[in-house]
Amino acid sequence: MRSIPSLLHGDTPLDEVAADLRLRDWTTLDIDPGHALLVAAATEARAHQAIVRLRPASTGRDAGIRLAGMRGDDTLWLDAPACGGAARDLLAALDGLREGLNRRLTLGLASVEAHFAHYPVGAGYARHVDGFRSDDARVLSLVLYLNRDWPADAGGALRLHLRDGPRDIAPMQGRMVIFLSADVEHEVMPATLPRYSVAAWFRQRPRPA
C-alpha cells in the first residue's frame, strides 16, 4: 500500500492550527521550504505554466466567466489528467491534513479540491470571500506558497481582512494560510515577480435542499 505523504510532522502543529481556527478563524504556519514535496510541486507548477497548461481562472460558480479586474491568475486542478506525481502527492497530503483537522474541529470536512495557481507580474485577485451564497460546501480555505527566496519588496501578499484590521502574508515558499471560507475576506496583491501557489478548499457534503 502506497504511503500518504505528509506536510506536517506530529500532532502538535495540527493541534495549534485547530486552536487558532477556533479562536480567530484563521492561522498561518511555515513548512521547511526545502521539503521534498514542496520542491517537487513548485517544479511541476512551473513546468505546466511553461507549456501553457495553466489556464485563465473563472470567477464565481459559472465556468468560463472571468470578470475584468476581478482576478488575474491562471490555474490547473491537481486532479487533472495532465498533472503528475507531485500534484497527486500534494493532493494526498492535503487530504491527510483535512482528515486531521476534521478530527479536531468536527466540521464535517468530507473532501478536498485544489489547484496550482500562477499570478503573472502585476496580477492580483480583488477582495472577496470563498463561500458562495447558494453553496456552503467550502468550509476551510488554504493557500500554500511555492516561491523560493521571495524578495521582501516584491509585493504579492495575501491580504486578510480581519476583525482587528488587515493582515498581509508574504508568498514565501512553504508558508501556509488556512481560514474559514465564508467568513474571512481576502485579496491577492499585485507583485513585481510572477508567483506560484496552491489554493485548496476543504469541503463538507452538500446539504439537502
pTM above 0.85, yes or no: yes
pLDDT at 60 over 70: no
Query: pLDDT tens for residues 125-148?
Result: 999 999 765 567 999 999 999 999
How does pLDDT run across 164-208, given as a tens digit for each residue?
A: 999 999 999 999 999 999 999 999 999 999 999 999 999 998 765
Report yes or no: 179 and 140 within 8 Å, Cβ to Cβ.
yes
CATH number attached to the domain at 12-58+69-204: 2.60.120.620
Phi, psi of 143 (to 5 degrees): -125, 130
Domains of the chain, residue spans? 12-58+69-204
The burial class, CB within 10 Å (0-12 / 13-18 / 19+), for 161 is middle
| 65 has a pLDDT exceeding 60 | no
For the stretch 169-178, pLDDT in tens is 999 999 999 9
Tell me how far apart the alpha carbons of residues 111 and 69 are, in angstroms, rounded to a whole number.
31
Nearest alpha-carbon partner for 198 in 2, 1, 7: 7
Residue 78's contacts (CB-CB under 8 Å, 6 or more residues apart) are 87, 88, 90, 91, 114, 115, 116, 198
